[in-house]
Each structure stands twice: as C-alpha cells, then as structure tokens.
Structure 1
Amino acid sequence: MTRRTWSRYPRRTFYLFVSPWVAGFLLLTAAPLVYAFTVSLTNFDGSSPRWRWVGFRNYTELFSDHDAWAALLRTIGYTAIVVPLSVAGSLGLAVLLNRRLKAVGLWRTIVYLPSVVPVVATAITWKLVLNRDAGILNAILSFTGLDAVTWLVDPMAFYALIILTLWGVGGGMVITLAALQDVPSELEDAARVDGAGRWKVFRHVTVPMISPVLYFQVVTGVIATLQIVVQPLLLAETNGISGVGSVPQSTHLYMVQVWQEFFLNNRFGYGSAMLWVFFLIILAFTLLVQRSSRWWVHYEVNSDADR
C-alpha cells in the first residue's frame, strides 16, 4: 500500500473557498455601512430626488438633541437592569435543571420553548396578557382582590418590557447548562474534601470554570438589548405607522427614536447619523466589557498577555 504524499494546494484554491464570505461581507455589510454613512451626510428624506450634501450638520444637531440623549439614557438603564437579570436567571435555571430531577428533559424543554417563539408573536401575546380590561394577569389580580394594573402605560410599561424580555431567558439557560455539564466533577469533589461548602464550591470553582460562557452572554446581551426596538413598538397601545406616538415615555428607547426619525419624520440622513453614533456607543460598551473580562473571566489555558 503506497502512502499518499502531502501536496500544497494552489493559492487560487484558498481564494475560491473564501470568496463567498468575502462577497457577502462586501455586499451585505461593508457596502451598506458606507452607504449609510454617506446618507448621514445629506438631508435625504427617503423618496425625494432633491437632496443635498449637508456635511456633519446631522451629527452636530444630534449632540444637541435632548430627546435622543434622553432615549439613550433610558436604553442604558434598561440594559443595566435586563442583562444582569438575564445572566443571573439563566445561571439559576441552569443550576436547577442540572440536577437529577424527574422528567428533567421535559422541564428543560418547557423553559427553553419561549426563547424560540418569534419576537412579534411573543410581544403580541404579552400585550394580550397585560391588557388592563381583558388581560389574564389582571383577571388573576382581580380574583385575589387586588386592583387592576395598567401595565401598558407609564410607569408600569417599563416593567412590562422587562418582563417580556426576560421571558426568553431559556436560550441562555441552555448555553449555561452545557457549560455546567462540562465542569470537571473532580474539581468540585476536591474542594469539598478540603472543607468547602456548597456555596463556596459554586462561587470559587463552578462560576470561574463557566465564566467564559457568562462573558459571552454578557457581551451578546448588551449588544442585543441596546438595539431593542420591536418589543416597545408592539407593546404600545396602538401599532402601525401612526402608533409610535403612543409608545410610553419610559419605553421610548433610542432605537424607537431612530425608527421615528426614519419612518415618521422621513429624516433618513438624520436617522443614519443616529445609527452611526449608536454603532460607536455599542462598540465602546463592548470594548469596556471585554476590557473588564481580565478580572472576572478565567480560561483553562492562560493567554499570551498573562504570561
């Protein structure tokens, strides 16, 4: 039996294999980014051919737009609440469902199912549940003798949005559960032999071992939560193009403001400028989380920076 010798592929083979990704990146990512930045330097309204170059006037106006900055602060506050609750909820459910329970597979499926429901269906369902007059939640409150709550208007609309967001915590639970099952049981057993209690084993052994997964959830959670827009719009009292005005003040987040500039005010140039500034803000938050990871994320193999 002859042994097959290794041969070097020609360079064009490499370019042939990477060409679909390169073409997709250029056409679907790079080109839209360049186009959006170009539009942000104009007064384009989305339909009229009469538009002109305004330079950085949209950016200058944005920095003095109090409504946009107020919406940004609300978005940051919403993110600061939802992301920790989502990560903690995912971790708690994963720890609970990592035990040897009866029908544990069924319970895992039940917890995970809400995360695969489309966001539009989820928002509409919760809007029906939270309806003041016909919602099942207020029906339960009335049955227990409590007054009905107007969940979809201020100030309760903000908490309703948080409840809606946390409804899909099962997706993070599955990822965290996989990480927990990958933790070597020998390490936990060794900690118990040394006298560590259940809480100390969890805090000093389990959590550091799954910290890269928690870091992944924090990063993706921050990016996704900052960009939330569909849920606030659909939870509003009225929907459609004319319904954005009914979005409660507490849930009028930054992307809702962007949506309003695009589709209500027809200010595509100004909206594009808002998106570009928001892109830089999200990038800054991501880098901040990545920078902080050196103090709380532990890898099995040390990075070159730590050597």
Structure 2
Amino acid sequence: MAEIDMPRRKWSRYPRRTFYFFVGPWVAGFLFLTVAPLVYAFIMSLTNFDGSSPRWKWVGLRNYTELFHDQEAWSALFRTLGFTAIVVPLSVAGSLGLAVLLNRRLKAVGLWRTIVYLPSIIPVVATTIIWRLVLNRDAGVLNSILDFFGVDAVSWLVDPMAFYALILLTLWGVGGGMIITLAALQDVPSELEDAARVDGAGAWRVFRHVTVPVISPVLYFQVVTGVIATLQILVQPMLLSEGGGLTGAGSVPQTTRVYMVQVWQEFFLANRFGYGSAMLWVFFVVILAFTLLVQRSSRWWVHYEVNTDADR
C-alpha cells in the first residue's frame, strides 16, 4: 500500500512584538503599582505633607534627620528586631519538627497534616480576633483552664505578657512552613540516608549531616521570607491589644509597639505623611540589609546539588 504524503506544517517564529505583548501587563503593573508608589513615597518623605491639606512645603532631609533622633522610633525598631530574632528561629524549627513528625507512617497521618495546616490558611484578622477572645482576662478560654487548675487569671493582652501573647499568635501559623518542609523531606534521597546508616551513623547524625543539608535550600527560603514578613508585622499587635482595632494604635502595649505600629501612628493619628514615608524608606533599607545579610550567610549553611559558586 502506497504511503500517503501528509503536508508538513511550516512553523515560523513569533514576531518580536508577541514577546512584548505577553510581558506588557507585568511590566505595566510593576511600573504603576510598585515603582510609581515608591517614587511618590520618597518624594513625599521630603515634604511636610499631612495627607489632606494642600498647604505643604519641601523640607528636604529634615524628616530623616528627625527620625534619626527619634527615640520612640529607634525603640520600636529594636523591639521589632528582637521579636524577629525570636519568632523566625522558633517558626523554622517548629515547622521542621512538625514536618519530621508527620513524615512518619502514622494512623490518619493525612488528617493530622490537615489539622496542623489549617490555622495557616485562616485570615490573619479572624485569627487575631479569635486569639484575643481566647486570651481575654475575664472571659477567655485560657484563663478558664488555668482557673480549673487553681492558677490566678493572667492579663495576657497587657504588658508584660502581651509580648509573649504576640509570639504565641505568630507561631500559630507554622503549618504553612510545615507543608513546605514536609515536601522537602519527602524529596530527600533514601539512598543517602541508607548509606549513612551502613557507615554506622545513628538517627541524629543522619538527620543532622544528611537530611538537614539536603533540605537546607528550603530552610533558607523560610528564613528569608520569615524575616521579611515578621519585620513588617502590623495587624496582629494592633488587633490583639485591648483597644482591638486598627484605629487604636495608641492602645497597643509598649512591648508590642513594633516599628510598623509606630509608622501607622505617624500616618493616621499624627497625620504626618511625610515623616511616615521617611520611616518607611528607612525601614525598607533595614529590611534589605537584613535580607542581604541572610543571603551572604547562606554560603556557610545552605547546600545545593549544583555548585553555584561563580568562581568555579
């Protein structure tokens, strides 16, 4: 039987304008929703704009000069850095510990994974309001449990316990990191762990010298994103206060008055938009510096399957 020659379809390259057609929406969004607001905020930081009055004037670097002499802003910044130094390691370690536990063959392991993961998908406002009810001094569930065991009621939402309450609230969402770490653990080659056991390594040495180095890129990702997110925390300390609202920045306890709460107060309570913009720009530099610091430190504790050193 004679073969039938099928006409071949001629493929041609897409015209160059097709590339710009696809990247155009992203470029437009980046320029108008990221670059333009940043430039506008920087220009505003050089003025005494109050958010509503048309009477404003150019003040140059006066806002930045005032900021560097603002003791409340510096206190809020150091308080934020201390909070981040506590929460990020606990969050990464908690995610890793839960992932290791739920990576075993347990009964109804899928159900347990779902239960641990669920808190991380609840909106932050709803989560904070729920915890404010749980930690309420007079009618909270936690104090009711303590009262059952004969322990006096604790004022969780005021100083000094407000700081620990905020840490507890923040760690409530470690389930999201657990899912990421669990996926990384399941991707660890079993041959490497088996070879280490054959060489006489115990469970802890296998975990420390084989498992952790293999999943270290995932841990690095969690550290970077955790540092950036924790430094910018705002809604939780404001809603967790006894004032319980985004307009009640003045009622936030001193121990949880983080930097972004201070910025909110300057913007919407003091109506100092220029000064608040200067605070945000300085904070942007601080976050960038810490992100670069973590990135530079990764060469000593993050291990990749492919060599990433540019000089090799």
Range of TM-score over shorter length: over 0.9
Structure 1 residue ranges without an equivalent (≥5): none
**For residue 155 of structure 2, what is the aligned residue in structure 1?**
150
Indicate if the aligned counterparts of 1:72 and 1:253 stay in contact, CA closer than 8 A: yes
- Please give the alpha-carbon distance, in whole angstroms, between the structure 2 residues aligned to 1:206 and 1:159: 32
**For residue 3 of structure 2, what is the aligned residue in structure 1?**
none
Does 2:23 match 1:18? yes
- Please give the alpha-carbon distance, in whole angstroms, between the structure 2 residues aligned to 1:201 and 1:219: 26
Q: Aligned AA for 1:155?
A: P
For residues 181-192 of structure 1, the aligned pairs below 5 Å read 181-192=186-197
C-alpha displacement of 1:11: 1.4
- Please give the alpha-carbon distance, in whole angstroms, between the structure 1 residues aligned to 2:258 and 2:268: 16
After TM superposition, what 4+ stretches of structure 1 lie above 6 angstroms from structure 2?
A: none
- Give per-residue Cα distances to partners, 1:43-100, cap 9 Å, x unaligned: 0000001111111100000000000000000000000000000000000000000000
Does 2:228 match 1:223? yes
| 1:61 aligned to which of 63, 66, 70 | 66
| 2:116 aligned to which of 106, 111, 116 | 111
Q: Identity over aligned residues, as a percent?
A: 84
Does 2:268 match 1:269? no
Structure 2 residue ranges without an equivalent (≥5): 1-5
Please state whether the residue corresponding to 2:151 is helix, strand or coil.
coil
- Give per-residue Cα distances to partners, 1:136-176, cap 9 Å, x unaligned: 10000010011111100111000000000000000000000
Does 2:61 match 1:39? no
| 1:82 aligned to which of 74, 78, 87 | 87
C-alpha displacement of 1:3: 5.1
Does 2:92 match 1:92? no
C-alpha displacement of 1:233: 0.3
Indicate if the aligned counterparts of 2:51 and 2:272 stay in contact, CA closer than 8 A: yes
C-alpha displacement of 1:112: 0.2
| 1:297 aligned to which of 302, 305, 310 | 302
C-alpha displacement of 1:228: 0.1
- Give per-residue Cα distances to partners, 1:109-129, cap 9 Å, x unaligned: 000000000000000000000
TM-score, with normalisation over the residues of structure 2?
0.96
Indicate if the aligned counterparts of 1:237 and 1:243 stay in contact, CA closer than 8 A: no
Does 2:129 match 1:124? yes
- Please give the alpha-carbon distance, in whole angstroms, between the structure 1 residues aligned to 2:273 and 2:211: 49
- Please give the alpha-carbon distance, in whole angstroms, between the structure 2 residues aligned to 1:8 and 1:123: 54
C-alpha displacement of 1:245: 1.5
Indicate if the aligned counterparts of 2:48 and 2:274 stay in contact, CA closer than 8 A: yes
- Please give the alpha-carbon distance, in whole angstroms, between the structure 2 residues aligned to 1:105 and 1:88: 21
Indicate if the aligned counterparts of 2:117 and 2:176 stay in contact, CA closer than 8 A: yes
- Please give the alpha-carbon distance, in whole angstroms, between the structure 2 residues aligned to 1:5 and 1:201: 56
Moved more, 165-174 or 12-21: 12-21
C-alpha displacement of 1:253: 0.3
- Please give the alpha-carbon distance, in whole angstroms, between the structure 1 residues aligned to 2:176 and 2:16: 41
Indicate if the aligned counterparts of 1:44 and 1:51 stay in contact, CA closer than 8 A: yes
Q: Aligned AA for 1:156?
A: M
Please state whether the residue corresponding to 2:192 is helix, strand or coil.
helix
- Please give the alpha-carbon distance, in whole angstroms, between the structure 2 residues aligned to 1:10 and 1:55: 48
- Please give the alpha-carbon distance, in whole angstroms, between the structure 2 residues aligned to 1:195 and 1:2: 64
- Please give the alpha-carbon distance, in whole angstroms, between the structure 1 residues aligned to 2:25 and 2:201: 53
Please state whether the residue corresponding to 2:56 is helix, strand or coil.
coil
Does 2:175 match 1:170? yes
Give the paired residue count. Answer: 307
- Please give the alpha-carbon distance, in whole angstroms, between the structure 2 residues aligned to 1:186 and 1:3: 47
For residues 215-254 of structure 1, the aligned pairs below 5 Å read 215-240=220-245, 243-254=248-259
- Please give the alpha-carbon distance, in whole angstroms, between the structure 1 residues aligned to 2:21 and 2:247: 49
Q: Aligned AA for 1:297?
A: V
- Please give the alpha-carbon distance, in whole angstroms, between the structure 1 residues aligned to 2:290 and 2:278: 19
| Larger gyration radius, structure 1 or structure 2 | 2
Please state whether the residue corresponding to 2:115 is helix, strand or coil.
helix
